[in-house]
Amino acid sequence: MTALAVSGCRICGGPVTEMLDLGRQPLSDAFPRPADVADEFFYRLALGRCADCTMVQLVEEVPRERMFHHDYPYRSSLSSVMRAHFTGTGRELLATKLTRPGAFCVELGCNDGVMLRTVAQAGVRHLGFEPSAGVAELARGQGVRVRTDFFEEKTAADVLATDGPADVVYAANTICHLPYLDSVLRGARLLLAPGGVLVFEDPYLGDILARTAFDQIYDEHFYYFTAHSVRAAAARFGLELVDVRRLPVHGGEVRYTLAHAGARTPSPAVADLLRQERELGVTGVPALRRFADAVARTRADLVALLRSLKEEGRTVAAYGATAKSATVTNYCGLGPDLIAYVCDTTPTKQGRLTPGAHIPVRPPEAFADPYPDYAVLFAWNHAEEIMAKETGFRAAGGRWIHYVPTVRVR
């Protein structure tokens, strides 16, 4: 099973121009055991832009079964910040969109059930789609009803036949993962009740460009949304962008709300974000070219810093074996020679190696045994949570290495 080259935009069929090549990359969430490194899957990670609908997307597609499988390691509930975010989201949906008797909520990519648990505890009908069987079982253990499958037009039709129309179809950090967005949107339109909404939140291209957050580009993130590109995609499938909300989580996201075309009056926030994007040139080619230049500078600066520290005899570790850190380590050529190990709270990653770069993954307790001189903050989107937890590192004289938006030591 190999990666598939994309000949045109997956949404509108328009020509896709390559804007950034991040080279040969492994699966970002596949942490091999030392004995299994010879079997790693690699593909070319490159970003392109559709000339017709402005959708920014990968130019090579990794088969979904390669990424989302039984042993998929990510757990949404392991972060206290994300637990609070999803609990709040569940409560908000219950208060605003799941109010009628018999209301029905469907979540795409429900992971370990952290959001749907709140809906389930309120006694509201629900269904989570989660193709990764391991985390799906965790969700079931939380009292969440889960279908171990991918959401698309066919499976949406199955749900409509058995459960009826949905008031809310929700997804967090999932829609951008799905190259077959055309089928997802057709499925959502089919499943949604006449007044229902598709609500999804994903990394925002505007924030990625502004922060030079090139590590947000990896195999699981196939699309990089803006209000312009989401509005254009929705319109092709009988849906309409009716609301947007900026979110601080995961380094900057936007929550998009789609409804059946003409069913709701769009919020003023939609026009405001569209205007901002035009003024900042977020959807244009020049902004992407500037981004590519900034990414190259970040790589040069980060590699130079780590090599300098090695020559000085300093010890360097990393914090957070995130999916996005695979882009950083492999694009920058960072291995155990420059970063001794990376600490992570996810039990299924511990004792394994980071994808491609093969840096050992250790539990958080190893961080203080003894503290390194420097630590690269791979999980920079959880910086506040990590800094509050690891005050002993700074007290011991340790210093954090940041690379978003630029390389600096603090």
Q: What is the mean pLDDT of residues 199-221?
A: 96
pLDDT(3) > 90: no
pLDDT band at 69 (very low <50, low <70, confident <90, very high): low
Question: Residue 173 pLDDT > 60, yes or no?
Answer: yes
In sequence order, the 6+-apart residues with CB closer than 8 A to the CB of 142 are: 112, 113, 114, 116, 117, 120
Q: Is the pLDDT reported for residue 301 higher than 60?
A: yes
pLDDT band at 70 (very low <50, low <70, confident <90, very high): low
- Model confidence over 17-63: pLDDT tens digits? 999 999 999 999 999 999 999 999 999 999 999 999 999 999 999 98
Q: Are 166 and 106 in contact (CB under 8 A)?
A: yes
Token output for 100: 């009628």
Q: What is the mean pLDDT of residues 329-355?
A: 96
> pLDDT at position 91, please?
98
Domains of the chain: 76-286 (3.40.50.150), 287-409 (3.40.50.720)
Element (H, E) at 318: strand 316-319
Per the listing, tokens 């832009």 go with 49
- How confident is the model over 183-202, as a mean pLDDT? 98
The predicted pLDDT at position 33 comes to 95
Three-state SS at 96: helix
Q: Is pTM, for the whole model, over 0.85?
A: yes
The answer to whether 110 and 47 have CB atoms below 8 angstroms apart is: no
Q: Give, as one character, the DSSP assignment of residue 406.
A: S
In this predicted structure, the answer to whether residue 6 has a pLDDT above a threshold of 70 is no
- 78 has a pLDDT exceeding 90: no
- Find the length of the chain: 410
Conformational region of residue 400, where left means phi above 0, alpha means psi within -120 to 50, and beta covers everything else:
beta
Q: Hey, which bits of 56-103 come out as E strands?
A: 56-58, 60-61
Q: What number is the average pLDDT over the span 265-271?
A: 98
CA distance 320 to 337: 18
Q: How far apart are alpha carbons 327 and 387 in whole angstroms? A: 23
Residue 2 has pLDDT above 70, yes or no: no
> pLDDT value at position 113?
92
Distance between CA atoms of residues 283 and 23, nearest Å? 23
**pLDDT exceeds cutoff 60 at 1:** no
Q: Which amino acid is at 84?
A: A
Whether a cis peptide bond, with omega within 30° of 0, leads into 370 is yes
**What pLDDT score was predicted for residue 74?**
67
Indicate the helix (H) or strand (E) that contains 184: helix 181-191
